[in-house]
Amino acid sequence: MTDVQEVSAAEETEVSESQIAVHWREEENYYPPATFISQANAADPAIFERFSEEHFPECFKEYADLLTWDRYWNTTLDTSNPPFWKWFVGGRLNACFNCVDRHLASSRDKAAFIWVPEPEDEETKAITYQELYRRVNEFAVLLRDFGGVKTGDRITFHLPMVPELPVSMFACARLGVIHSEVFGGFSGAACGQRIADSESRILVTMDAYYRQGELIDHKAKADEAVEEARKQGVEVEKVLVWRRYPGEYRSESPMVDGRDFFVDEVLKDYHDQLVEPVSMPAEAPLFLMYTSGTTGQPKGCEHSTGGYLAYVAGTSKYYQDIHPEDTYWCFADIGWITGHSYIVYGPLALGTTSVMYEGVPTYPDAGRPWRIAERLGVNIFHTAPTTIRMLRKLGPDEPTKYNYRFKHMTTVGEPIEPDVWRWYHEAVGKGQAVIVDTWWQTENGGFLGSTLPALQPMKPGSCGPGVLGIYPVIYDEQGEVVEAGSGKAGNICIRNPWPGIFQTIWRQDERFVQTYYEKYCRNKESKDWHDWPYFAGDGAVQADDGYFRILGRVDDVINVAGHRLGTKELESATITVDEVAEAAAVPVVDELRGRAVEMYVSLKPGVDPSDDIEGKVEKAIETQIGKIARPKSVWVVPDMPKTRSGKIMRRVIAGISNFADVGDVTTLANPEIVDEIREQVQSEKMARGEVPRELSPEEMEEIKAFGRAE
Ligand code: WTA
């Protein structure tokens, strides 16, 4: 037994959950500098009163009023069909008009986007609002006249971080067509599955893009995607291929006659053409964003036009502190919700300049982001802990070499270790920038937990309280409130609806209700929103001061480098390998990526474990999901620990992988297997030098909770 195990085993037997909490060290507060406060969009504490529960839901008028409405709404919140909340009912607007057209009068020549290609010798491109307007219109006409799409149709994009992605998004929004962007790093098969689910007849893709110094052939994935969609019964009629270098095709994959078209060629027929933005009901869906869940297929989170846009505009203004004259850089991928809300829709609704970067943070070296920031005059910087950890590891002193100045920084997507937070603050922020740690999810549209930067102190490792108009609560498994300061962890929920909440899981209303509302619904007949708390699926603990620490998922989702991966998806991909009988995916604490995936597999009788199972499993996961999901290790084990009813106990395996306590195993059908697997896995890990650091109490809590939803 290692020391780590001894300690945790002792804790487990003698110390109750509430006592463990005593060890949760409180971090000190950091206060925003006066220079920030004096210019902040939200600097008057009266704002808390305006968004207090007494003023709910009318408080969100303040967000909606940031937009230009074709017709004003008559009902702020319609709760007649819980939990399918409707915001700003009766209102009409167009999201593209709000993000593009309406800024032309004042900001025609200002950059809407500044796009930085990954190769450093390639020219950075500024796309003015006027230029964006032209490009969006032309592509919208193309989609309508050449693509034959109409309002309400879905289009799938599989695009990397290029300006053509927001151009395509806005073109759809202009027509009232629902876009569904699939992260460029996902495999063709994963894309095809999402095409099929959303029944898209058009796929928009790109021939190639740069990543880590390499021009990646991307079009090849389109063929796999079309094939997969066909298997699932949906026929893609047109594949529209943007070219990284217009006029030059950089993919090896042949263009299919009559199906595949180069956008730059077709666009010639639509030169300078305009199309009126379609006035959409506030409740019309704007886009789908697929995310992983506990069971089965990824869920298409459907986001509304009015509520979503109002919410991202409002939170961008107050929490990102975006002013039109700022140069704002959210270093995320538009293929995730963060990019939709806080690279594209939020910042552009406010008419600011949004920076987009094509590649990886450390290419060609860990000074790259700071060179970009210096050269472009970025003053708001927004990224994920994984990126911060990586930059700290590879270039702890790089920021000091560059002359940029951030007023504001954001961290999003995963818990950030206080140590990493402090480096972000000191080194990256040069001690002068405020930090907001923003907690939220694909389903939420925008932030749920954060400090209001000029008015609430920061605390490393805590996201802060609920944001304006969001009233969170922690419930235990029985639905009792876990009090702030009790030190106990529980399930964080949001008591109220808010404009950014997704409308449903695309075509799966029942799953929507069941996943997010069933657990704590007090009365299914009730039309009162108070009876319908939103279950976020995260464990959290609330300190005396009301600040939340998010511990991680309580369902079977693994957050790898800020990307949600469902254990079910990983396992389904793994069992496509012929030799594999059973598979289980668990999270393991990883220094850089926060969490990594480890796969456990047992083989069919008579199969030889030496048969490069590991390689086959990796390949299968890469093909079915994408490289981001590649497991850190694949363990071929004689059997899985199982309950008497035959369920694989992921919690137990997760404990083994993390050198943590495995909890009670006496009720297993095969308790003896636990020691056997532990010996096999841990001795191999020790030999490889892969013993994880001692887990923090928060991490321990998370590992213990893993698979609880089973
Ligand atoms: C986790 C990303 C701690 C959480 C916007 C959540 C966080 C999941 C934070 C959603 C944070 C997000 N601190 N954990 N600030 N932000 N998470 O859907 O577990 O990709 O449920 O949305 O990431 O991930 P998603």
Give the distance, in angstroms, between the CA of residue 36 and the centroid of all CA atoms in the same chain.
28
Question: Does the CB atom of residue 414 touch ligand 1 within 6 A?
Answer: yes
163-221 pLDDT, tens digit each: 999 999 999 999 999 999 999 999 999 999 999 999 999 999 999 999 999 999 999 99
The residues near 400 (Cβ < 8 Å, ≥ 6 apart) are 427, 430
Q: CA 98 to CA 312: how far, in whole Å?
A: 12
Indicate which atom in ligand 1 lies nearest the CA of residue 557: 19
* CA 551 to ligand 1 centroid distance, Å: 10
pLDDT in the model for residue 294: 65
Question: For ligand 1, atom 13, which residue shows the shortest CA distance?
Answer: 415
Mutate to test the pocket of ligand 1, among 319, 336, 414 (most ligand atoms within 8 A of CB): 414
* CA 701 to ligand 1 centroid distance, Å: 17
Indicate which atom in ligand 1 lies nearest the CA of residue 438: 15
Question: For ligand 1, atom 5, which residue shows the shortest CA distance?
Answer: 441
pLDDT in the model for residue 185: 94
Question: For ligand 1, atom 15, which residue shows the shortest CA distance?
Answer: 439
Q: CA 477 to CA 704: how far, in whole Å?
A: 14
* CA 439 to ligand 1 centroid distance, Å: 6
Three-state SS for 574-636 is: HCCCCCEEEEEEEEEEECCCEEEEEEEEEECCCCCCCCCHHHHHHHHHHHHCEHHHCCCEEEE
Supply the pTM of this predicted model.
0.93
Structure tokens at 578: 């012929």
Buried b (16+ CB within 10 A) or exposed e, 434-443: bbbbbbbbbb
638-660 pLDDT, tens digit each: 999 998 888 888 889 999 999 99
* CA 419 to ligand 1 centroid distance, Å: 19
HSE (CB half, 13 Å, CA atoms) of 213?
A: 5
Indicate which atom in ligand 1 lies nearest the CA of residue 550: 3
Beta-carbon count within 10 A of 237 CB: 13
Question: Does the CB atom of residue 553 touch ligand 1 within 6 A?
Answer: yes
Q: How far apart are the first and last CA of the chain?
A: 29
Question: Does the CB atom of residue 538 touch ligand 1 within 6 A?
Answer: yes
pLDDT in the model for residue 307: 98
Given a contact cutoff of 8 angstroms between Cβ atoms, the answer to whether 232 and 196 are in contact is yes
Give the type of residue at 601: V
E strands, 393-512, in order: 408-412, 434-438, 472-475, 489-494, 504-505
Identify the three-state secondary structure at position 332: coil
* CA 145 to ligand 1 centroid distance, Å: 39
Mutate to test the pocket of ligand 1, among 440, 502, 515, 534 (most ligand atoms within 8 A of CB): 440
| Burial class (CB within 10 angstroms; exposed 0-12, middle 13-18, buried 19+) of 34 | exposed
* CA 410 to ligand 1 centroid distance, Å: 13
Indicate which atom in ligand 1 lies nearest the CA of residue 564: 20
Where is 239: in which H helix or E strand? strand 238-242
Identify the CA nearest to 209 among candidates 122, 82, 327. Answer: 122
E strands, 452-523, in order: 472-475, 489-494, 504-505
pLDDT in the model for residue 664: 84
Given a contact cutoff of 8 angstroms between Cβ atoms, the answer to whether 290 and 194 are in contact is yes
Residue that is written with structure tokens 């532990």 in the block: 678
Given a contact cutoff of 8 angstroms between Cβ atoms, the answer to whether 527 and 512 are in contact is no
* CA 443 to ligand 1 centroid distance, Å: 10
CA angle, corner 671, sides to 668 and 676, nearest 5? 145
Question: Does the CB atom of residue 437 touch ligand 1 within 6 A?
Answer: yes
Look up residue 466 and give its DSSP letter: B
pLDDT in the model for residue 48: 98
Three-state SS for 104-129 is: HHHHCCCEEEEEECCCCCCCCEEEEH
Question: For ligand 1, atom 7, which residue shows the shortest CA distance?
Answer: 414
Peptide bond into 57 cis (omega under 30): yes
Indicate which atom in ligand 1 lies nearest the CA of residue 291: 18
Indicate which atom in ligand 1 lies nearest the CA of residue 442: 18
Residue that is written with structure tokens 């002013």 in the block: 323
pLDDT in the model for residue 7: 36
Question: Does the CB atom of residue 337 touch ligand 1 within 6 A?
Answer: yes
The residues near 549 (Cβ < 8 Å, ≥ 6 apart) are 24, 415, 461, 462, 463, 540, 541, 542, 543, 698
Question: For ligand 1, atom 25, which residue shows the shortest CA distance?
Answer: 441
Q: CA 458 to CA 412: how far, in whole Å?
A: 14
Residues of the chain scoring pLDDT < 70 = 1-24, 294-296, 707-710
Which residue blocks in 470-526 are alpha helix, DSSP H? 509-516
Query: Rounded to whole angstroms, what are the CA distances from 543 to 487, 496, 547?
Result: 7, 21, 5
Question: Does the CB atom of residue 412 touch ligand 1 within 6 A?
Answer: yes
Question: Does the CB atom of residue 550 touch ligand 1 within 6 A?
Answer: yes
Give the distance, in angstroms, between the CA of residue 92 and the centroid of all CA atoms in the same chain.
28
pLDDT in the model for residue 608: 87
pLDDT in the model for residue 398: 98
Indicate which atom in ligand 1 lies nearest the CA of residue 537: 21
Q: CA 516 to CA 498: how far, in whole Å?
A: 14
Question: Does the CB atom of residue 438 touch ligand 1 within 6 A?
Answer: yes
* CA 501 to ligand 1 centroid distance, Å: 15
